[in-house]
Structure 1
C-alpha cells in the first residue's frame, strides 16, 4: 500500500511542480530570479510541516498518509536539484546578488517555516 501511495503522491507532486513552473515561465523576471522554484520549495516545506506536526495523530492512525503526502507529494513537488542548478547558473551568469538571494531565501524561509510550525506543536 505504501508504494502505491508514494507513486500517486509523487505523480501529483510532480504535476503540481510543473504547473507552477509553467505559470511563472511567462514572467520576465523569472529569467533572473527562480521564483517558481523558491515558491515550490517553500510550499513543499509548509505541506510537509503540516503533515508531520499538525496531522501527526492522523498519520499515526493512517501511516499511508505520510507515504502519500510526505514522501510522495512533497518528494515530487520540491526540487533541491533544480534549486542547486539554478543557483549555479546564476553564479555562472555573474548574477551574484540573485544567487545569494536564491540560496538565502530558499534555506532561511524553508527552515524558518519548518521551525515555526514545529514550535507551534510544543
Structure 2
C-alpha cells in the first residue's frame, strides 16, 4: 500500500506542476474572460489518460504502482475539476452566460469525445 500511495502522491505533484506551467504560459499570452488554461489542462489530461490506457492495454508486465503513478497521479493532478467548477461559478456571477455555456459544453464534449473515439474497440 505504501508504494501505491507514494506513486499517486509523486504523480499528483508532477501533474499539478504541469497544470501550473500550462496556466502560467497561457495567462501570459491570453488574457480574456474564457478560462482557456483550465480547458487546455483538462483536455490534455484526458488525452494523456487515453494515451496511457491504450499504452497499457494488453500489457501485464508493468507494476500497478506505475499505472497509478501515471493515471491517478499525473493525469489526476494535471486535470482540475475544482478550478473548472470555480471558474464557471465566476462566469455565472459576472453574467457571462454565453462564455459559461461554451466552457461547459466544450470541456465536457471534447473530453468525452476523446474517450469515445480513441478508446473505441
When the two structures are superposed, what TM-score results if normalisation uses the length of structure 1?
Answer: 0.90
Query: Deviations along 1:37-80, whole A, 9 cap, x unmatched?
Result: 0000000101111112332233x321222111100001111000
Q: CA deviation at 1:5?
A: 1.4
Q: Give the aligned partner of residue 31 of structure 2.
A: 28
> Would you identify which runs of 4 or more consecutive aligned residues in structure 1 move more than 6 Å?
none
1:14 to 16, 22, 30: 16
Query: Deviations along 1:76-98, whole A, 9 cap, x unmatched?
Result: 11000100110111011111110
Gaps of 5+ in 2: none
TM alignment of 1:1-122, pairs within 5 A: 1-26=3-28, 27-29=30-32, 32-58=33-59, 60-62=60-62, 63-119=64-120, 122=121
Gaps of 5+ in 1: none
C-alpha distance in 2 between matches for 1:64 and 1:51: 14
Aligned residues: 117
Change in Cα spacing, 1:44 to 1:20, as seen in structure 2 (3 Å) is same
* Structure holding more helix per residue: 1
C-alpha distance in 2 between matches for 1:11 and 1:44: 14
C-alpha distance in 2 between matches for 1:91 and 1:12: 31
When the two structures are superposed, what TM-score results if normalisation uses the length of structure 2?
Answer: 0.91
